[in-house]
A and B are shown apart, each in its own frame.
Chain A
Amino acid sequence: MRIEKLVLQNYRQFRHAELDFSRTAGNDLHIIRGMNGTGKTNILNAFNWCLYGDEPHLAKDSQQLPRLNLGCIRDSDGSQNEEVRAELWLKTRDGNYLVFERRESYRVQGHDEHPLVQERSFEARVTDAKGNIKILRDEEAAYCAERFVPRLMREFFLFDGERLDRYFKEATAQNIRHAVFELSQIHLLENLEQKLDATLKDVRREAGKASPAIEQSRERLDTLENRLGDLDTQRQACIDQVNLSKDKIAEYLEMLRGVPDVATLEAERQGLGERRKQKEQLRADKAAQKREALFQSGMSIGVWPAMDQILQIIDQKREDNEIPPTVDKGLLDSILRDHLCRICGRALDEESTRHVKQLAEEVRLSSAVLRELVNMENALRLRADTLSHFDAQLREMTSEIREYETELDAIERRKNEIDRELEGYNIHRITEWHKERQNFENARDTNQRKLGMLDAQRDGLLVQIRALKASLDKELKKETKLAQLRKEIGFCASALEVVRQTKHSIMTQTRREIESETKALFMDFAWKKETFRDVHIDDDYGIHLMHSMGYDCLGAASAAERELLALSFTLALHKVSGFDSPIVIDTPVARVSDEHRVNFGRVLLEVSADKQTVLLFTPAEYSQDLAGVIDRHSSNRLELKLSSDENEARVEVL
């Protein structure tokens, strides 16, 4: 089935618009170009509104506006109802038409007030081969729309291009499980499972009335099964968290690819700052020490000839035994005081007294000098000794200062290197990324540990449940009057098991089919054929893009490659679901870098060879290079233009 045309009347920006999607070229590709605000996304909404009655892609500012065109409200005199209408013309493979039409009539109360809905209608007109038209209304029409694209699966057919970018970034496994779940129509089996489970419990409760032992076992079994249910819910939440963390870690790793490890470098820079302070202090201390040595030794060097001379004199006097003094001044003083020679015992005469006085004066003088010399000696020898090491001491200190300077230079160089490395990066943001990545790693580890614990508890619980069921069976067998109930329990339990296994096998089979289709499509579309080896969807519905070197590289893939994988996955779902409906993508390459837009354009061209593809672009997105690749192959190129009062959008054929 393909879309032939979309007719809009008074729908949002579109007063009267007819968008033709007939196939006129090699590719069933239809381009709609329009500036922001011209109504591209509302085309997507129009498809949804026409088929399902809602507008899931409505922008925030549009949510405040009535669905009825503003120009229509302005022109209305309120005398009659105004109508919003969307008509979607589809053509089946055998050439018959299926037309969906949704109408809403409004009463316009005033130009500034929201118009009130008066009437709603939805119909599907089915034309058969003979040209007969069958009109289906409301529920029947809705059922017909479900056959075109099921409401629950429309997100895989009519979507915003940003979704392609987000698809494998946000809760991948949840998305995939959801897709497989919807596709497999598992909810039917789930309903059955819930019903059987409730019936089984009822029958067991009934049986419990016959015997207290059975009742006890049943109650216990109910409790354990409830606990198992809780555990399964917790397990699923853990698995979701682990998968979400893994995706986020991969996303942060991608953002941090080639970006320096800021936290480590910052820590190193701080460490270097502290080391520099220490070294500068050590250098300053050593320089002060050297200055002190220079000052003290400098003085000694300056006066060295005087010091040397005195030291030589002292040495000479010591050699001549003049030091210590040989004459006892105390003896001379006592001779003079007593006028008696202490050596010969003779009394001193006048001449002798004068002679002794003169001798005493000479001794006094020479003693003072000698005493002074003795006092000076140690100090001078100490200075002379220090001076003998001057050169070596100075060299050692100079060399130590140089070492500190070399170390300081090295510190400065490394600091500059770090500064250069960090130049141009938003350190705060990168640090936040590192922190976030760390947080997700912690969350992943915590949840994995918790999952292990829950698995162990679950295994234990299953053993208990099995044992309890066996014991309940035994109790039931004892009560012969319960034969019928026993049969019913046996039947319900077996049926439940069959449903569960069926559900599991359908999910597994669908997952495998999607995996295989996704891989085939991705490998076919990928422009870097040698880079990727495999696409794998694991038991927990995590998707893995395997590099040719053997590692999972989804996190490291470019936005374009990630979108390509999402597109392949979406197309695989189309194929596996059997709904070979068109695909409508709003802003398909908005997140794709310029260099990959052409590659992506080629892929979309390839897709449109077999599948009707409607693409809505902004002019900026629809670059010349991209247009060069797809323009000539497209069946239709339309442009949306806004009127001067911005109330009406026109559709022009390019």
Chain B
Amino acid sequence: MSGVVDRLSVDEKDRALYDRLESADIFEGRTRKEQFLFALAYAFQRGVRRPMETREGFFLAKDLHTEDRALLSAVAAYSDDSLDVLADKARVFRIAEEYAHAGIRMIVDEIESTQYGSFEKRLEMDFHDRWKQLALADN
């Protein structure tokens, strides 16, 4: 897959889900790009990726900083188990979009679930457990 891609897209239905993120403090005042990247990481951690049914532009690729691009590329290379994908930006973006598509639904479900404690608290505990599990302190 090749060609110049100037924007990252979401599924048409996902836009409304992104709007609902505002109910959690952690997403308050976040840009579309930041929401998208978080949804991507959330789904990647849980190994869930969903192909999109429709596509509509969500934010422009030029808004991605080097560190954002590095994150997308790392995810794409890991998912394809090949470094060649790094030379194919369109595919890198497509992979990211599919993770974000899965992630946003999971996050909204989690926020709106009736489980005890706030989403932010649960995230904190989850990140902390995961951090320990990965033994990231020695990095």
- A residues with CB within 8 A of B: 291, 294-295, 297-307, 309-310, 313, 365, 368-369, 372-373, 375-380, 382-385, 387-388, 390-391, 394
Contacts and interface: CB of A to CB of B under 8 A. Distances in A.
B91 to A, nearest CB: 13
B136 A306 contact: no
B41 A368 contact: no
Interface in B65-81: 66-67, 69-71, 73-75, 77-79
A9 to B, nearest CB: 92
B37 interface: yes
A297 B42 CA distance: 12
B24 to A, nearest CB: 10
Interface in B120-139: 120, 123-124, 127-128, 130-132, 134, 136-139
B83 A373 contact: yes
Contacts of B44: 302-303, 306
Contacts of A377: 70
Tell me the dominant secondary structure on chain A's binding face: helix
Contact of B66 (A299, A302, A379): A379
A383 B75 contact: no
A369 B136 contact: no
B1 interface: no
Given A301-B131, A368-B87, A391-B137, A375 B66 contact: yes
B86 A394 contact: no
A369 B76 CA distance: 13
A303 B127 contact: no
- Chain A CB count within 10 A is highest, among B41, B69, B127, for B127
Interface of B: 25-26, 30, 34, 37-38, 40-42, 44-45, 66-67, 69-71, 73-75, 77-79, 83-84, 86-87, 120, 123-124, 127-128, 130-132, 134, 136-139
A387 B67 contact: no
A373 B83 CA distance: 9
Nearest to A392: B137
Given A306-B77, A313-B83, A376 B34 contact: no
B136 A387 contact: yes
Given A309-B77, A372-B73, A383 B67 contact: yes
Given A309-B74, A375-B66, A383-B71, A301 B124 contact: no
27 contacts: A291-B25, A294-B123, A295-B26, A295-B30, A295-B38, A298-B41, A299-B37, A301-B45, A301-B130, A302-B44, A302-B45, A303-B45, A306-B74, A307-B70, A309-B78, A310-B73, A310-B77, A372-B87, A373-B86, A376-B70, A376-B86, A379-B67, A380-B67, A380-B70, A390-B127, A390-B136, A391-B132
B1 to A, nearest CB: 15
B73 A376 contact: yes
A299 B38 contact: yes
Contact of B124 (A300, A304, A387, A394): A394
A313 B83 CA distance: 9
A390 B131 contact: yes
Given A305-B78, A306-B77, A310-B74, 16 more contacts: A291-B120, A294-B127, A295-B38, A298-B41, A299-B71, A301-B45, A303-B44, A303-B74, A307-B74, A310-B77, A365-B84, A375-B70, A380-B67, A387-B131, A391-B137, A394-B128
A311 to B, nearest CB: 9
- Chain A CB count within 10 A is highest, among B38, B42, B78, B139, for B139
Contacts of A291: 25-26, 120
B38 to A, nearest CB: 6
- Chain A CB count within 10 A is highest, among B70, B83, B120, for B70
Contacts of B71: 299-300, 303, 307, 379-380, 383
Contacts of B26: 291, 294-295
Contacts of B127: 294, 297-298, 301, 390
List the 8 closest A-B pairs by CB distance, nearest first.
A302-B41, A306-B78, A379-B67, A302-B45, A379-B70, A376-B70, A306-B74, A372-B86
A388 to B, nearest CB: 4
B63 to A, nearest CB: 15
B86 A368 contact: yes
A484 B24 CA distance: 114
Given A310-B74, A379-B66, A299 B87 contact: no
Nearest to B92: A372
A375 B74 CA distance: 12
Given A291-B25, A373-B86, A299 B41 contact: yes
Contacts of B137: 388, 391
Contact of A387 (B69, B87, B139): B139
